[in-house]
Each structure stands twice: as structure tokens, then as C-alpha cells.
Amino acid sequence: MIPSSKLRGLLACTIGVAVAVVGSAQAQQIPIPTTAAEVPGPPPGTAMTKAYVQSVGRMAYLWGWPLVNNANRHAAFSKAPEPGLLGGVLPIAHNSISMLTNYLSAEQRFVACTNQDVVYGFGFLDNLDEQPIVFQVPDFGSRFWVYALWDARTDEFSQIGKQYGTKSGFYMVVGPNWKGETPNGVTAVLRSSTSVVAAAPRVFMDDTPEDQVAIQAVLSQIDFYPLSQFDGKMKTKDWSKLPHFPAPKPSGEGETKWVNPETFFDELPAVMKSVPPLPGEEAFYRLIASVLDAAAKDPAVKKTLTETAVAAERELISPFFQWRYNGRPAGNGWDSPVNNAKWGTDYLNRASTAKSNMYENLPTETKYIYTDDDKEGAQLAGWNLYSITFPKGQVPPVNGFWSVTLYNELHFFNPNSLKRYSLGTKNKNLKYNADGSLTLYAGAHSPGPDKENNWLPAPNGMFSLYIRAYWADQTILDGTWHPPAIEKVK
């Protein structure tokens, strides 16, 4: 799609050529087509065939799925009367954050593709044009940490963390139209493109009892609160005493269903009003709006849109749960996104990530690499045993940390007697081979007592593997480092 500014430039160039040919006197008579630029899309009342409505509706569903997903999460989190834990496990907060004090519970079934490498916090911020939110950054010392803040498109705009050299102190997040003054004591102001923001601090923790105690001092100083409560003093909070809120009824297997195709086109108009178009999206917004306007006046158009959404959910969105449809090949059967959390107009990968793995970090913060298959392209299955060997010196090169996580077919942790769901930097008892290489094992059955330190227990069914490289080396970012092949041992 050509942005309107570029389109005007192209028109100007075309007119300029005409001036050179016919002379300035005649050039004054050449009409400048302004109607389409002023009112993009079909005029109100234009007849629309069923196929046309289906075509626009299908694209609108792909484009808008992450935005509606985010909006419905925000609506649910906004009901929290105070920071707490949904179902006793998931951090939930409104215009604040809720912070865990340990890894996220392996039993939670609200959010897919979580990890047990970091201590999480999460919350939604809103009305940022009227009331900014101040957040605290304690002195983390040598510990890896990052705060991710996403706008309503799930684009991350914060760049706050160890890899950015962020100093401890107070920071403030504001909406696109905030015009207030920055108070003394605030180090920097982060401006979101939308008035709704999702926020998630992540702090690395070793898999040891000692580090679980040591991390508490910095966790207690992580906090988000309205500007009206800012007094220039670092507040502390005992996150271990958060209230528990009842969990909603399950909406079926897998992650909580935040998008209902049957109500999608009822919800989309309000979402579009709250999320302004990116440069170049103005005509696209009007194209979608013209069909929504028609649906509001014609039950037949509305019926077609609803049917289109139901079909698109099944045919277009559901396949994105498979890792082969996320990002692009990273080598040896693995795939990896490129634009994570900086989607812009990459609607394909924005939608696929929203379906499979919502709220990713920027590539400079975390490189994600994942697969459902072994090196032969066969689906990973727990009744087999697999080996994943990193040659000597070829574990993921990072400045932060790395891990390999095993998920079941729904992208949740697999319950097991070892209570082990990932292996990597946090594990201090990994056994290296005599040649300096590192072999990890994945399968439902133990690879043997001498190899169990390196074993990821799998379900006796389908599963996937997922590499996280926090603060990845450039060789991971540019693709010259390749993840290892997954070999079926037996």
C-alpha cells in the first residue's frame, strides 16, 4: 500500500512531467484528483457484493485479531480492584502492575508460552493522556532485567533494561496526547502511540534457593503507579501478600480465548477508534470502516461478516499456532521471527505471534527460536527420545542468558516429577560431554541416570521446543549462528 504522502508525491511528479510537455499555461488547467485522497474507500451507500465483503472482512480479521485480543485482555484486567493474582497464579493489575516473587506456576492455563527463567510482572495502563504512570527501576546490579511496554498494536516502545544501560530511578509513560510537565526526579518520559499500554517487567533468576532469596530485594522496588502518587521516593512493596482473585471459567483447551469470531466485528469499531492508523494506513482504515458501516445498516452484510470471521478463525488464524508458520526458517528445522514486537505493518507475523505467543520482546532483548519437528521434519513426540547437541562453544551466544523450554501440544508446561520445564543458563548442574559439547535430551522417558541432569521430560504425546536468547549476540540476530539439529535417538 502506498502511503498517502508518497501518493501525493507521485501525483506531483506526474503533473510535473505534464508541465514540461505542454507548458505552464496549459498546466494550470490540469485537474488535481483530491476526492479519493480526502475520502478514501467507497462512498457511503455503495453496493457491496458478498464476495467483496468476504474479501475485506477476511483481511480485516487478520489485521485486527491482535488488536481485539489486546483490547479484550485490557477490559478483563481493568476489572481488578487492586494488583493481585488471577486464580492465585497470574499477575493482574490495572494502572499498576502485579509482581510475582518466584517463577510463574507451571499449572497456570491462562497464558501460553510462559517461561521459568525470569520472575514476571504484568499489568495494563490506560487513560495515559490524562494520568501518566510512573515506574521505578531499582539497582539490579549484574542481574539481567528488562521492562517491556507495548502499545495497543503489541508494538514495544520502551527499550528499558540492562542491555540499554538503563539507570536506576524513576521513569514515566504517557499517552500520545499528554501535554503536561515532567516533574523533577523523573529520568525520562516514554510516549506511547496509544492511550492503552501493556507492561511486563522480567527479571532473571537462577534455579537455586539462594537466588530465590537474593532477588526479593530488587523485586520489592519494582512498582508502577499514577503520577499523582509520585513523591520522588523509592517505594517498596511486599509482593508475596497479593490478594487472589477468582479465575474465570475455562473457555476450552489451551490459552484463554480472548477473541470470539462471532462478536469480532461488533468489537472492532471501538478498537479502531482507540488505535489511530499508522502512516499509510488511513485508506485501509476507511476501507474496513466502509464495510462496517454497511453491516450496521444491512443485516445481510452483517451476517456475511460474521460468517467470514468464523471461517477466518478456523482457516487463517488457527494454523498460526504451529511454529512453522511463525517467522522464517532459522536452520535445522527451527523457525524464528524477525520483526517481533516491532511489527509496524507486518500484519502476518503480528497475527501469528498473537495467536501462538502474545507479547514478545524486541529482538535486541530476546531472540525466539522454536520448532515442532525433529531434523527430518517429523512432529516431536514424547514416546521417542531426542538429543539436542550444541557443539563446543556453540551454546546460544548471549550477553544475558539462554534457555530451551519444552511445551506440550497446547504450549503449556508438561507436569513432571522433576518439576523441570526448561534448561539453560539458570541450571548449574548441566553435564558437558568430554569434547566440550552439550547434549540436552527430550522425551517422556528418562535417558538414563547419568543423563537426567540434561533431560527435559516430555508428555507421552506431541510437544515443541523453544529457545530463548536474552540479549542475543549479533550472530544470533543476523542468523549466522544456527540452532542445533534435533536427532531422534530411539
What pLDDT was estimated at residue 248?
79
What pLDDT was estimated at residue 13?
38
What pLDDT was estimated at residue 252?
75
DSSP run (H or E) holding 467: strand 463-472
What pLDDT was estimated at residue 276?
95
How many Cβ atoms sit within 10 Å of the Cβ of residue 82? Answer: 12
CA distances from 386 to 206, 373, 397, 426, 455 (A): 26, 11, 23, 22, 10
Q: Which three cell numbers stand for residue 75?
A: 477490559
Q: pLDDT per residue over 203-248, tens digit each?
A: 999 989 999 999 999 999 999 999 999 999 999 999 999 999 998 7
Q: pLDDT per residue over 295-313, tens digit each?
A: 999 999 999 999 999 999 9
CATH class of 83-242: mainly beta
∠ CA(446), CA(451), CA(454), 5° rounding? 90
Comparing C-alpha atoms, which of 161, 162, 146, 143 is closest to residue 212?
143
What pLDDT was estimated at residue 40?
75
What pLDDT was estimated at residue 8?
38
Q: pLDDT per residue over 51-97, tens digit each?
A: 999 999 999 999 999 999 999 999 999 999 999 999 999 999 999 99
The pLDDT confidence band at residue 38, using thresholds 50, 70 and 90, is low
Q: Which residues contact 382 (CB under 8 A, 6 or more apart)?
A: 443, 444, 458, 459, 460, 461, 462, 463
- 158 vs 174: CA distance, rounded Å: 11
Mean pLDDT for 396-417 is: 96
- pLDDT of 29 higher than 80: no
- 21 vs 23: CA distance, rounded Å: 6
What pLDDT was estimated at residue 347?
97
The pLDDT confidence band at residue 44, using thresholds 50, 70 and 90, is confident
Mean of per-residue pLDDT scores for the chain? 91
Mean pLDDT for 154-181 is: 97
CA distances from 182 to 134, 173, 227 (A): 11, 11, 10
Q: Which residues contact 475 (CB under 8 A, 6 or more apart)?
A: 397, 481
- pLDDT of 32 higher than 50: no
Fold of 323-488: Jelly Rolls (2.60.120)
Q: pLDDT per residue over 448-475, tens digit each?
A: 999 999 999 999 999 999 999 999 999 9
Sign of CA dihedral 470, 471, 476, 482: negative
What pLDDT was estimated at residue 39?
60
The pLDDT confidence band at residue 398, using thresholds 50, 70 and 90, is very high
What pLDDT was estimated at residue 490?
79
Judge whether 85 and 244 are in contact, CB under 8 Å. Answer: yes
The pLDDT confidence band at residue 272, using thresholds 50, 70 and 90, is very high
Residues in the chain: 490
Q: pLDDT per residue over 171-204, tens digit each?
A: 999 999 999 999 999 999 999 999 999 999 999 9
Residue that has been written with the C-alpha cell 539458570 in this structure: 426
The residue ranking higher by pLDDT, 187 or 17, is 187
Numbered ranges of CATH 2.60.40.1610 in the chain: 83-242
Q: Which residues contact 200 (CB under 8 A, 6 or more apart)?
A: 97, 120, 121, 122, 147, 148, 149, 359
How many Cβ atoms sit within 10 Å of the Cβ of residue 7? Answer: 15
For the residues of 51-109, what is the DSSP string, one character each? HHHHHHHHHHHHHHHHHHHHHHHHHHHTT-SSSEEETTTEEE-BSS-EE-SSSPPTT--
Judge whether 331 and 354 are in contact, CB under 8 Å. Answer: no
Phi-psi region of 393 (alpha: psi -120 to 50; beta: other; left: phi over 0): left
Numbered ranges of CATH 2.60.120.600 in the chain: 323-488
Phi-psi region of 107 (alpha: psi -120 to 50; beta: other; left: phi over 0): alpha
